[in-house]
Amino acid sequence: MWKLGKRFVLLGIVMGLTSACAPSLQESGGLASANSAASLREPWLLVDTRKDALMVMQGNRPVKTFSRIALGSSGAGFKYQRGDNKTPLGVFRVGWINDQSRFKTFIGLDYPNLDYAGRALREQRIDALTYERVRAAWLNGQTPPQDTRLGGQIGIHGVGKGDPLIHGAGINWTSGCVALDNRQIEELRPWVRKGMRVEIR
């Protein structure tokens, strides 16, 4: 009984330390707000899942809009785990860009971010070490690990060599990404840079 009690105490201490060290949603929001305020002049991407549109924003003003986007086959919302086919809602950054993708261009996002990793840690879906890997990547401006239970390889891409008729029919066909048609992804590409803010809501 004493050994079991010691384990719970130790687990409580570890959880307390990791949550004390990790930026809270308010802290990470404050950091994001500071970065956002400093870069209001910089373009950013807004994915409006209700309007099925992706917009290039300058401050609060859309400068280019792409309509008829596709999302994950399970829609948009809280992404729980790899393979749930949900497009995650939240604020992300562009982590990498692959112009030789099978989807024509793949603009990778830094999912899982601290919000998703923090929630997963609290719900014991990931361990403290996995959380720290995500946190360290985020703090260093790097792409977080893509091999966790939370999933990865979430991004914005074209249809590539896929069937444009499925995309054109308005079907949410991706595994959790945001898809444009090939012409749209070509038009979007010159706006995009690594580190760019992307909000999916």
Query: What's the CATH number where 173 sits?
Result: 2.40.440.10
Give the pLDDT of residue 40.
63
Let me know: does 149 contact 39? Beta carbons within 8 Å.
no
| pLDDT tens sequence across 61-74 | 999 999 999 999 99
* Whole-number average pLDDT of the chain: 85
Give the total number of structural domains in the chain.
1
Domain span at 135: 2-200
Share of the chain above pLDDT 90, in %: 77
pLDDT score of 197 more than 70: yes
Instruction: Look up residue 44 and give its two tokens.
Output: 């950013």
Q: How many other β-carbons are positioned within 10 Å of the β-carbon of residue 165?
A: 9
Say how far apart CA 50 and CA 76 lie, in whole Å.
Answer: 9
Give the pLDDT of residue 13.
35
| pLDDT tens sequence across 125-134 | 999 999 999 9
pLDDT score of 16 more than 50: no
Give the pLDDT of residue 187.
98
Q: What's the whole-model pTM score? A: 0.79
Per-residue pLDDT band for 41 (boundaries 50, 70, 90) equals confident
pLDDT score of 51 more than 80: yes
| pLDDT tens sequence across 138-192 | 999 899 999 999 999 999 999 998 899 999 999 999 999 999 999 999 999 999 9
Buried b (16+ CB within 10 A) or exposed e, 39-66: eeeebbbbbbbeeeebbbbeeeeeeeeb
For the chain, the straight-line distance linking the first and the last C-alpha, in angstroms and rounded, comes to 47
Give the pLDDT of residue 37.
52
Closest residue by Cα to residue 107 from 176, 43, 189: 189
What's the gap between Cα 118 and its chain centre? 14
Side-chain-facing half-sphere of 87: CA atoms under 13 Å = 26
Per-residue pLDDT band for 39 (boundaries 50, 70, 90) equals low
